[in-house]
Structure 1
Amino acid sequence: MHNQWDAKLYDRNHSFVSELATDLIDLLAPQAGDCATRSTGGDRILDLGCGTGYLANKIASRGAKVVGIDYAETMIEQARSKYPHLQFEVLDAKDLQYKEEFDAVFSNAALHWITEPEKVVFGIHQALKPGGRFVAEFGGKGNIKAIIQAIHNAVANAGYSENTISNPWYFPSIGEYGSLLEKHNLQPIFATLFDRPPRLEEGDKGMQNWLRMFANSFLNTFSADQQVSIISDIENQLRPVLYQNDAWFADYRRIRIVAVKE
């Protein structure tokens, strides 16, 4: 089951997802058009999993031409509403049809939602021009480890089997993902795995907000009353490790990677 996306709630309570990755654009280094030297008018960049368009707009503000794609229609509708001057399309990253159209493919906090990564990497390679670059950040090995364990415990405590929930995420190691890129002639030139626990919005409601936004693919299999009970159990488990100074944090671990099409 896919996660369901409330675009307005995402922008209101989870804008940190985009804001934390603003420096990823520096790594992308989008090139603006120069009429004197570039007939192309600057880099053409695909923002894969663009969400509500915040980072696509940041990239465009540096003079590049951006196409933002996301499989969630609610996100694309919000992006088009916020940034009507940019191009956004509802597309599945597992089925990219572009052929050597982009100088760069950029992705933030999206690739860990796709459990068939090889299809995505193949499409990225096809979409890039020769020498084009792929710049991405997403959940890496060990991401939300404590949260996932608490989810499984809470489901078991409620009397349900492990099979009740399926894992919607893909969190690879650097070695695993680097090998996948190389297999498809994308040469990694930079890779890092690092902890970055964000502070969640709305104080004591932070963790339940996070769960309802990012883990609703499993929550929605339960009744409203069961959801309240399970969320409470998860909070009780996590409070000693992820709650401090009247705020919740999420135990994020990110993989950040740059690769070039050979």
Structure 2
Amino acid sequence: MGGPSYQWNANDYAKSSGVQQQWARELIRKLRLKGSEHILDIGCGDGKATAEIAGSLPEGSVTGIDSSEPMIALAQSRYPSDAFPHLRFQHGDASSLKFENEFDIVFSNAALHWILDQRPVVHGIRRSLKPGGKILLQMGGRGNAAEVIAALDKLIEESEWKGYFHRFTFPYGFYDSEEYGIWLRESGFDEIRSELIPKDAVHHDRAAFESWIRTTWLPFTQRVPEEKREIFISSIADHYIRKHPMDDHGMVHVRMMRLEVEAVKR
């Protein structure tokens, strides 16, 4: 996608990304597709959501890009082009898109917050769109997973872990609607809406919560040596659940804040 490169385990992500897939389905419904559009999906991951979009495009196509080569390899193996002719995947960096006037829609779900400086992304999206093309993006917004971040901040100050986080800086681009609105207008978009939407991310048990930590909080977990990583992940869960106990059904809830953006190319 752009920014630092993390060692994604594509198979682990595919098993632990149920929350992201649920949000993707909600977002896809908002596209109101006619069936002939050509769509770019930025940060497609393992390709599940991209394939769902393709199923609604009998006369169109969708291209999924991701900065993780293992993710793209998994997507290509699951959705081969001979069986899915309206669907293709390719390795690509969201901060340096190479497309010119190719797409009717640019879509992205739960991906762009991995990029700190998103202005080059917005510029590249505009170049990629045909005149009058639109964008529908959802990502982590300001205040996203604040309680998880608080648990992490406390944990990495403990003596056992502090040495691994020397000069560590916050790695995520969690922005608000005002900031994104400025970038849209500067890049040549007419903003339709840009809003922060609270979501409840539900993990069915502690193991599912730890799996989510393992696969989506890589800027923290990958600083810890592999032989200590599972202890670190378990400690994150301990800190979080101590302050935010599981519900009566043993589920772990995380308050998320999503930034959802819709705009049209001028």
Q: TM-score, normalised by structure 1?
A: 0.90
How big is each residue's C-alpha offset from its partner over 1:40-77, in whole Å with a ceiling of 9 and x where there is no partner?
xx211101111111121111111231111111111111
Range with bigger deviation, 91-100 or 14-23: 14-23
- Corresponding residue for 1:36? none
- Corresponding residue for 1:138? 139
Partner AA of 1:43 in structure 2: E
Partner AA of 2:264 in structure 1: V
1:243 alignment partner, SS class: coil
* 8 Å Cα contact 2:6-2:218 kept in structure 1: yes
* 8 Å Cα contact 2:139-2:260 kept in structure 1: yes
- Corresponding residue for 2:192? 189
- Corresponding residue for 1:58? 52
For the residues of structure 2 that align with 1:195 and 1:67, how far apart are their CA atoms?
A: 29
Structure 1 residues without counterparts, runs of 5 or longer: 33-41
* 8 Å Cα contact 1:7-1:74 kept in structure 2: yes
The answer to whether 1:74 aligns with 2:77 is no
How big is each residue's C-alpha offset from its partner over 1:182-215, in whole Å with a ceiling of 9 and x where there is no partner?
11011110222121122124x1213321221111
The answer to whether 1:238 aligns with 2:251 is no
How big is each residue's C-alpha offset from its partner over 1:86-112, in whole Å with a ceiling of 9 and x where there is no partner?
210000111101111111100001110
- Corresponding residue for 1:249? 253
2:184 alignment partner, SS class: helix
Range with bigger deviation, 181-190 or 23-32: 23-32
Partner AA of 2:72 in structure 1: I
Q: TM-score, normalised by structure 2?
A: 0.88
- Corresponding residue for 1:83? 79
Q: CA deviation at 1:156?
A: 0.2
Q: CA RMSD in A?
A: 1.8
Aligned positions of 1:98-117 closer than 5 A: 98-117=99-118
2:203 alignment partner, SS class: coil
Structure 2 residues without counterparts, runs of 5 or longer: none
Q: CA deviation at 1:229?
A: 4.1
Aligned positions of 1:1-262 closer than 5 A: 1-32=4-35, 42-63=36-57, 64-84=60-80, 85=84, 86-158=87-159, 160=162, 163-201=166-204, 203-224=205-226, 226-239=228-241, 240-241=243-244, 243-244=246-247, 245-262=249-266
State how many pairs are aligned.
252
1:132 alignment partner, SS class: strand
* 8 Å Cα contact 1:30-1:62 kept in structure 2: yes
